[in-house]
Amino acid sequence: AARQETLRVGFVVPTRTGVSLVPEASLYDVVGQAAVMGAQLAAEASNSRSAADAVDLELLLASAPSAEAAERAAERLLAVNGVAALVGGLGDGQADMLSGIAEGAGVPFLNIGSPASALRSACLRSTFNVEAGAGMYLGAAASWFTGHGYARWYVVYEETGEGTELRDAALAALGAVPGAVLAGSTGVITGQPDYGPVFEAVRRSGADLILVLVNAPDQIAFLAQEESVGPHVAALPYPYPVTQTRDFLGAMRVRADAQGLGYRVALWDATLGGGDGAGDGGRDGAGDGGPAGRSGSEAAADALNDRFVARWGQPMDPAAWAAYAAVTILHDAAVAAGSTLPEAIAAYLGSPEARFEVGKATPLSFDPSSHQLRQPLYVVELDPDAQLTGRLNDQRGLAKLVDVVEVAAQVAAEAEALETGPGMAPQGASRCR
């Protein structure tokens, strides 16, 4: 019989542990707790077959309300517990911090929370991105919404480094979609108290859709003000992990009712594979609700959502899926590599033959240059008539699947730019060696 090995995985996310003195920590507690549930579900599933796989999985949880706390937790997990991999990245600055530590220690880090392009363009050897990148989200939004009647876009972004980066990614995404038109753009400050001048500019522009690239708390303020005094133009908030939770969607439900647009781009949805999630969304009613019939990937998604509900009694949020996928991928990589050594796992994750079954279309793999997991995204529709209660069916019914959006082209384009960026390497030569 094969010798049983133990794979120790450090899982670092914000979770509620009492009263927090860290600003905005509670904003990430909900999404962090969902991630913990997803990770634990994956660990239980992996260990249920560990006798056959010869790899036990030990999940070591650490709560980190800030980037500094994440740094301390990761260093402790490496030095004291001897973890072979790190998972995390939810919360301001945490993905960058964990990535830096993992690169220095030579252990794989699976990012489940940050869409930042820096984590995909710095030629990082140990960082692998399960969370979709900004280019993927914005590319999916540009192609789907333009194709469904929203051709004139107005971009509202924060005048910060991250905000400018998102704006540039949005402009690139719109430029790649035939028929998409930039009607205008406006920069705002973080925590801006009055968006009146923005709404006036939107009115003058004749835009069909406002792309709202501000942080999660400011998204609520922006949408509330537009509800009261704005131009009543359809608004599409950027899908940060926290804004994809059922809790946040519940807060947005009134917005969908008032405006007639409840569509969002998402990494995952609790109605995936359920068979009743197909919609006919879009401004022109052209949405087709995705492919007819029930594919193997739909059955896998349905089974995963059902397992999560059976284990935790609540719908599987996107952050829960990302955590589930990350832990599953690490275990499966160790099994396939025949080793729990960090370097062996990292080598397999980036290898051409690596394929992972995590409830989405099979197989999924990492792009060899950006280490971005190549995967479909989804368009979901908020239900304006959903009941805001704690009951499972009401929580799940807050949104439903409308369509599947393939974003392989966005991943490939970003990888090509990474490989042959101007001034970085000769044409056709990689700058990630």
Q: What is the pTM of this model?
A: 0.90
- Note every long-range contact of 40-48, with CB atoms under 8 Å and residues 24 or more positions apart, other chains counting: 41/307, 41/308, 41/311, 41/312, 41/320, 41/324, 42/323, 42/324, 42/325, 42/326, 42/327, 42/328, 42/331, 43/9, 43/327, 44/311, 45/307, 45/328, 46/327, 46/328, 46/331
Secondary structure (DSSP) of 295-313: -HHHHHHHHHHHHHHHHHS
**Domains detected in the chain:** 5-132+315-374 (3.40.50.2300), 135-266+271-291+376-409 (3.40.50.2300)
Instruction: Label residues 27-57 b or e (16+ Cβ within 10 Å = b).
Output: bbbbbbbbbbbbbbbbbebbbeebeebebbb
User: Which residue has 């790190």 as its token pair?
Assistant: 86
Q: Minimal CA–CA distance to 176: which of 346, 423, 417, 363? A: 417
In what side-by-side order are the strands of the sheet with 5-13? Answer: 55-63, 5-13, 85-88, 109-111, 127-129
Secondary structure (DSSP) of 104-148: HHT--EEESS---THHHHS--SSEEE-SPPHHHHHHHHHHHHHHT
Between CA 170 and CA 134 the distance in angstroms is 8
One pLDDT digit (tens) per residue for the chain, 433 residues: 457 899 999 999 999 765 554 545 567 888 999 999 999 999 999 999 877 888 999 999 999 999 999 999 999 999 999 999 999 999 999 999 999 999 999 999 999 999 999 999 877 999 999 999 999 999 999 999 999 999 999 999 999 999 999 999 999 999 999 999 999 999 999 999 999 999 999 999 999 999 999 999 899 899 889 888 878 899 999 999 999 999 888 877 655 555 546 899 999 999 998 744 344 445 544 444 444 344 566 889 999 999 999 999 999 999 999 999 999 999 999 999 999 999 999 999 999 999 999 999 778 999 999 999 999 999 999 887 788 788 899 899 889 999 999 987 667 666 666 555 544 444 444 455 5
Which residues lie below 8 Å from residue 66, measured CB to CB, with a gap of 6+?
Answer: 22, 25, 91, 92, 93, 94
